[in-house]
Amino acid sequence: MDESVFFSIRLSLQVAAVATALIVLTGLPVAYMLARKDFRGREVLDVICTIPLVLPPTVTGYYLIILFGRNGFIGKYLYALTGWSIMFTWYAAVLASYVVALPLLIKIARAAMESVDRSLVNASYTLGHSELSTALRVILPLAKRGIVAGTVLSFARAMGEFGATLMLAGNLPGKTDTMPLAIYSLAGSGEWSQAHGMVLLLTLLSGIFLYIANRYSRRII
């Protein structure tokens, strides 16, 4: 196999894995808040979390540049302090995937957590378990199917993330060209047989990943 193809595969998996890990880590607490806390602006927060799904990824990418670019609202302070900018690095691909795929996990995990039987949560409390312990050992496991589905979808979405990544991470061969970017390049330049091959590879690879995730999640329930 072509070395650059190999690089793209590795990069894609790496970006998707890191983004998904971050999504799970940060998304679950948000989903928990949305599901079980009653605070002002809860539904507004929910909507805000969903918005990146509505925007064409390229637009999301553009706004991310405005925020995190070297001269962006946040990015400029980062740059002033550290001389480092996220633009055109693989971290940018992670950021883009993160933003674009996060809504999936949050919405799904919220729905699953809301469906957990109230009386089991109460039972946990009366047994002396703190809210955190109850969240981790009762709500999370009982919402597991939803959380797994959300994680799988986020991972898939991150694997396929393209538009926003393109904007933020650029397409630096051997640096930030994830599989979707590579596919796009191949297809766009009419190298269809290679493009098909790459699509097949991405599909297969994702398929295997999704299949394992499905199987595994089923077994541990």
Partner 1 sequence: AQAESKELTVSAAISLKNAFEEIGRLYQAEQGVKVIFNVGASGDLLRQIAGGAPADVFASAAQKDMDEADRQGLIVSATRTDMAVNSVVLIVPAGAKTSVKSFGGLSAAAVKRIAIGNPKTVPAGRYAEEVFNYYRLLPAIRDKLVFAENVRQVLDYVSRGEVDAGVVYATDAAARPEEAKIAATAPEVSHKPVIYPIAVVKGTKNETPARAFIAFVMSPEGQKILHKYGFRTGK
Partner 2 sequence: MGLQVRLKKKLNGFSLDSDWETGNELTVLFGFSGAGKSMTLQLIAGLLEPDEGRVVLEGTVYYDSATGVDVPPQSRPFGYVFQDLALFPHMTVIGNIIYGAPAVPKHDKMDRARDMVRSFKLAGLEDRYPHEISGGQRQRVAFARALIRQPRALLLDEPFSALDHPLRLGMRQFLRELRTDFNIPVVLVTHDLSEALMLADTMIVYSHGRIMQKGAPDAVMNNPVNDEVKLLVGSSAPEL
Q: Which does 78 bind (CB under 5 to 8 A by kind): partner 1, a copy of itself, partner 2, none?
A: none
Give residues with Cβ within 8 angstroms of 176, minimum separation 6: 11, 88, 89, 90, 92, 93, 165, 169, 170
Q: Which residues of the shown chain bind partner 2 in the complex (CB under 8 A)?
A: 117-120, 122-131, 133-134, 137-138, 141-142, 144, 221
Task: Name the minimum Å distance from CB 6 to partner 1.
Answer: 17
- Picking from 150, 137, 135, the residue whose alpha carbon sits closest to that of residue 32 is 135
211 binds a copy of itself, rule: CB under 8 A = yes
135: DSSP letter: I
Size of the site for a copy of itself (CB under 8 A): 51
180 binds a copy of itself, rule: CB under 8 A = yes
Q: Give residue 22's identity as a one-letter amino acid code.
A: L
Rounded to whole angstroms, the Cα distance separating 148 from 160 reads 18
**Contact assessment for residue 16 and residue 186, using Cβ atoms and an 8 Å cutoff:** no
* 76 or 145: CB nearest partner 2: 145
String marking each residue 95-114 x if it binds a copy of itself according to CB under 8 A: --------xx--xx-xxx-x
Tokens 């998304």 found at: 27
Rounded to whole angstroms, the Cα distance separating 86 from 20 reads 19
Q: Which does 104 bind (CB under 5 to 8 A by kind): a copy of itself, partner 2, partner 1, none?
A: a copy of itself
Would you call 74 helix, strand, or coil by DSSP?
A: coil
202 binds a copy of itself, rule: CB under 8 A = yes
Q: Which two tokens stand for residue 11?
A: 């990069």
Other C-beta atoms closer than 10 Å to the C-beta of 119 total: 8
Q: Which does 174 bind (CB under 5 to 8 A by kind): a copy of itself, partner 2, partner 1, none?
A: partner 1
Stretch that binds a copy of itself, among 1-9, 48-56, 70-78, 168-176 (CB under 8 A): 48-56
- Residue count of the chain: 221
Give contact residues for a copy of itself (rule: CB under 8 A): 43-44, 46-48, 50-51, 53-59, 62, 103-104, 107-108, 110-112, 114-115, 145-146, 148-150, 152-153, 156-157, 159-160, 162-163, 180, 183-184, 187, 195, 199, 202-203, 206-207, 210-211, 214-215
